[in-house]
Amino acid sequence: METGIVIYDSAYWNGGYGTEAFRLWIDYLFHYTDLHRLGMTTWSANERMVQVAKKLGMKEEARIREARYWQGSYYDSIKMGILRKEWESLQSIDGKRNK
């Protein structure tokens, strides 16, 4: 399953809202479904989304070079993902830290 988030209003960028929203969304999907893996696709100019995905434990699984053309330049398509067992392992580590 592919997933993701969008925060349209730039006034809410860089405040941790995207990280928290995506964390809650991933947690919800793994908690209420039997999905084995979650993925997301973005482009190389969207550095914030790549950093959010990495921060939440997603790993880069594929890079399609120069797949997107925008404002006169080509950008890579980046596919990232996380397995249920990886997510659960990270959550147990975070839970121990918060106690």
Q: What is the pLDDT of residue 95?
A: 62
Q: What is the pLDDT of residue 4?
A: 87
Token pair of 44 as six digits = 């190389």
Could you tell me the sign of the dihedral formed by the alpha carbons of 89, 27, 84, 76, in that order? Answer: negative
* 83 contacts 56 by C-beta, under 8 angstroms: no
Q: What is the pLDDT of residue 13?
A: 87
Show the domains of the chain with their CATH numbers: 10-97 (3.40.630.30)
Mean pLDDT of the chain: 92
For the chain, helix (H) and strand (E) counts, in that order, are: 3, 3
Please list the residues that pair with 38 across neighbouring strands.
Answer: 82
37-43: strand order across its sheet: 37-43, 73-83, 59-70
Q: What is the pLDDT of residue 98?
A: 42
Q: How far apart are CA 50 and CA 41, in angstroms?
A: 9
Q: What is the pLDDT of residue 96?
A: 54
Query: Closest Cα to residue 66, out of 44, 40, 42?
Result: 44
Q: What is the pLDDT of residue 65?
A: 98
List, for the chain, all residue ranges whose pLDDT scores fall below the cut of 70: 94-99
